A and B are shown apart, each in its own frame.
Chain A
Amino acid sequence: TQLLEQSPQFLSIQEGENLTVYCNSSSVFSSLQWYRQEPGEGPVLLVTVVTGGEVKKLKRLTFQFGDARKDSSLHITAAQPGDTGLYLCAGEKTGANNLFFGTGTRLTVIP
Chain B
Amino acid sequence: EADIYQTPRYLVIGTGKKITLECSQTMGHDKMYWYQQDPGMELHLIHYSYGVNSTEKGDLSSESTVSRIRTEHFPLTLESARPSHTSQYLCASSGLGRASDTQYFGPGTRLTVL
Interfacial residues, chain A to chain B (CB-CB below 8 A): 2, 9, 30-31, 33, 39-45, 48, 50, 86, 88, 92-93, 96-99, 101-104, 106
Contacts and interface: CB of A to CB of B under 8 A. Distances in A.
24 contacts: A2-B42, A30-B100, A33-B100, A39-B40, A40-B107, A40-B108, A41-B108, A42-B107, A43-B43, A43-B90, A43-B103, A43-B105, A44-B2, A44-B105, A48-B100, A92-B100, A97-B48, A98-B48, A98-B99, A101-B35, A101-B42, A101-B45, A102-B42, A103-B41
Interface residues of B, number: 25
A104 B35 CA distance: 14
Interface in B85-101: 90, 92, 98-100
Contacts of B92: 42
B58 interface: yes
Contacts of B45: 98, 101
Contacts of B35: 101
B100 A99 contact: yes
Interface string B1-37: 0101000000000000000000000000000010100
B65 to A, nearest CB: 19
Interface of B: 2, 4, 33, 35, 40-45, 48, 56, 58-59, 90, 92, 98-100, 102-103, 105-108
Contacts of B33: 98
Given A40-B107, A43-B105, A97-B48, A104 B41 contact: yes
